[in-house]
């Protein structure tokens, strides 16, 4: 059973052994499988300018291996939307300490779909909401492909487009803002059969003290 860990600057040393495989996995998934050629690197590791000390990673780990992940970058730092696709946001640029930008969500091919429990992709999304609520975040920006929209909305994410979709490398892509709150978290959990908080806060004990309100915990546990 995979465990979802939050990895930040403060506890990264505990997970350093996973990062090289993680970047190689990103290269396999995004460059080789999804054919996002612009991300190709001769060393076979997909690392970009947003993989800085400020990035927060969710790692779903099983048998000492990352099998799914998501990245969150503070919007007070450069992000995909602010620096690569600013035209996807037709409103005011978003640079706020309470808003992070999500990217690089993936699950290894053999663990996609359902395997007798909640889909790992849904678990990662529940985990990032849980993380956001715990830290007092109010929302996430995302540059995403349009096929995500009905899927996210079906699972309780309230998604607000920030501009018009644009065809980029054959994909319809748009910028969105997603509200991060208990309602979205609980709906996400209910719709996917997630019955308990999903994050393991190993090495971030001080953050884990800022816990989810007990009412939410009780409701999810019911």
User: Closest separation between CB of residue 78 and ligand COA, Å?
Assistant: 18
The DSSP line for 85-143 is -GGG--SS----TTEEEEEEEEE-GGG-S-SSSS-HHHHHHHHHHHHHHHHT--EEEEE
User: Closest separation between CB of residue 90 and ligand COA, Å?
Assistant: 22
Of 171 and 202, which has the nearer Cβ to ligand COA?
Answer: 171
Q: Whose CA is closest to 198, among 60, 71, 69? A: 60
119 binds ligand COA (CB under 6 A): yes
Strands 99-107 and 139-145: parallel
DSSP letter at 44?
S
17 binds ligand COA (CB under 6 A): no
Distances (CA, A) of 182 to 20, 59, 168, 187: 34, 22, 33, 8
Distance of alpha carbon 67 from alpha carbon 27, whole angstroms: 14
29 binds ligand COA (CB under 6 A): yes
Residue window 33-62: x/- pattern of binding to ligand COA, with contact defined by CB under 6 A: -x----------------------------
User: Closest separation between CB of residue 134 and ligand COA, Å?
Assistant: 23
User: Closest separation between CB of residue 83 and ligand COA, Å?
Assistant: 17
107 binds ligand COA (CB under 6 A): yes
Q: Which residues pair with 144 in a beta bridge?
A: 174
State both tokens at 99.
Answer: 């808003």
Stretch that binds ligand COA, among 37-45, 112-120, 199-207, 214-222 (CB under 6 A): 112-120
152 binds ligand COA (CB under 6 A): no
59, 100, 106, 185: which one binds ligand COA (CB under 6 A): 106
Of 55 and 216, which has the nearer Cβ to ligand COA?
Answer: 55
User: Closest separation between CB of residue 199 and ligand COA, Å?
Assistant: 18
Distance of alpha carbon 137 from alpha carbon 72, whole angstroms: 12
Query: Residues interacting with ligand COA, by CB under 6 A?
Result: 29, 34, 103-107, 112-113, 119, 121, 147
């Amino acid at each position: 059973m995979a465990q979802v860990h939050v990895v930040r600057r403060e506890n990264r040393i505990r997970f350093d052994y996973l990062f090289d495989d993680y970047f190689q996995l990103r290269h396999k998934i995004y460059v080789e499988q999804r054919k996002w050629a612009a991300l190709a690197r001769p060393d076979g590791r997909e690392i970009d300018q947003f993989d800085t000390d400020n990035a927060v990673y969710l790692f779903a780990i099983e048998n000492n291996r990352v099998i799914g992940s998501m990245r969150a970058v503070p919007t007070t730092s450069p992000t995909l939307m602010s620096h690569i696709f600013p035209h996807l946001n037709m409103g005011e640029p978003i640079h706020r300490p309470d808003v992070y930008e999500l990217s690089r969500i993936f699950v290894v091919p053999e663990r996609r779909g359902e395997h007798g429990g909640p889909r790992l992709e849904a678990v990662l999304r529940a985990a990032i909401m849980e993380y956001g609520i715990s830290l007092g975040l109010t929302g996430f920006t995302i540059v995403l492909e349009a096929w995500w929209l009905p899927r996210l909305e079906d699972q309780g994410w309230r998604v607000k487009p920030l501009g018009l979709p644009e065809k980029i490398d054959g994909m319809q892509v748009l910028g969105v803002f997603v509200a991060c709150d208990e309602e979205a978290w609980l709906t996400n959990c209910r719709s996917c059969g997630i019955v308990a908080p999903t994050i393991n806060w190993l090495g971030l004990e001080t953050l884990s003290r800022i816990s989810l309100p007990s009412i939410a915990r009780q409701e999810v546990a019911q």
